[in-house]
Amino acid sequence: MGTLPGRRLVLLLPTVLGVVTLVFAFLHLLPGDPVEIMLGDWAAPADAVALRRDLGLDRPLAAQYVRFVGHAARGDFGQSIAFRAPVARVIADRYPATVELAIAALLLAVGGAVPLGVLAAVWRGRALDRIVRLVSLAGVCLPSFWLGPVLMFAFAMRLDWLPVSGRGGLAHLVLPAATLALGMGGILVRLTRASVLAALGEDYVRTARAKGAPRWRAVGVHALRNALVPVVTVLGLQAGALLAGAVITETIFAWPGIGRLVVQAIQARDYPLVQGCVLVIGVTYVAINTAADVLVRAIDPRLAEPV
């Protein structure tokens, strides 16, 4: 497996195993018993003992760990304690919603940030540049737990343009996607601006201009292509942050995604479900970053060559 995706796949296994092991260890360090939380106050101790045995929670931790990893390797993540359903099915129900939200946020962030970053660089020091820098700074600084309700109040309650919460058509996607996209977009705008500014000062751009290339071509083709390399790399890393940010955004907007599911699972000490979610998020994160690396090499073929 000499190709990049192949090498990444090989790396994926120890990465995911490491993450799962850490999560398993930390989950079991947390005080709280899933059986007691599940059964609540009204359950009798005998029921708790029986259920603990039924769920395999009475075995030594090492045995539980080996059992989980062995089953996970065969694609069996076990049974959710809280939902009484296979973990794979519970995650499959929620994963598409998170992917939908993340893609929408990504499109919004990239679609807004790259053109604005380029324009700010081209018109450096002018009013547009100042406004873009200010807005991007606000985007980075404002936490989603504040921004979400503010957007909701403005666009759903006051203006009545968009639904308040829930998952439905395209209109439902706008506010949660915008909440997620703003923070990521802020970083991308600033990075694009800085990268384009650096590229504009390079010899190849000056040469292109000297050879008569119009300004838009010098910027849009020559400068931007090189400036995109760090932007795409950061984009890959930010996609992971997007999954983490989804926890808050999904809770605020009642979006039935995997972010909210993780919180529910942790609160219920639903060990198999937490581990399953972490596994899926970990794999997604690595897959996105592999895709970003492939894209970077397509933009700049020099990076594909061994040094």
The 114-153 contact track toward another protein, x by CB under 8 A, reads: -----------------------------------x--xx
In the chain, the amino acid numbered 31 is P
- Of 13, 43, 61, 210, the one binding another protein (CB under 8 A) is 43
The C-alpha atoms of residue 17 and residue 40 are separated, in whole angstroms, by 33
- Choice between 8 and 94, CB closer to another protein: 94
The C-alpha atoms of residue 259 and residue 257 are separated, in whole angstroms, by 6
Q: Which residues contact 170 (CB under 8 A, 6 or more apart)?
A: none
- Choice between 89 and 206, CB closer to another protein: 89
Q: Which two tokens stand for residue 234?
A: 């950061």
Q: Whole-number minimum distance, CB 239 to another protein, in Å? A: 22
267 scored as a contact of another protein (CB under 8 A): yes
Q: Which two tokens stand for residue 240?
A: 């992971």
Q: Whole-number minimum distance, CB 260 to another protein, in Å? A: 6
72 scored as a contact of another protein (CB under 8 A): no
Q: Which two tokens stand for residue 275?
A: 């581990």
Stretch that binds another protein, among 46-54, 117-125, 206-214, 222-230 (CB under 8 A): 46-54
Question: Footprint of another protein on residues 79-118 (CB under 8 A)?
Answer: 82-85, 90, 93-94, 97
Q: How far is the first Cα of the chain from the last one, in angstroms, to the nearest whole number?
A: 19
| Per-residue 3-state assignment (H helix, E strand, C coil) for 29-86 | HCCCCHHHHHHCCCCCHHHHHHHHHHCCCCCCHHHHHHHHHHHHHCCCCCECCCCCCE
For 247, what's the count of Cα atoms within 13 Å in the CB-facing half-sphere?
A: 13
- Choice between 51 and 121, CB closer to another protein: 51
Contact residues: another protein, CB under 8 A: 30-33, 36-48, 50-51, 54, 82-85, 90, 93-94, 97, 149, 152-153, 156-157, 160, 163-169, 172, 251-254, 256-257, 260-261, 264, 267-269
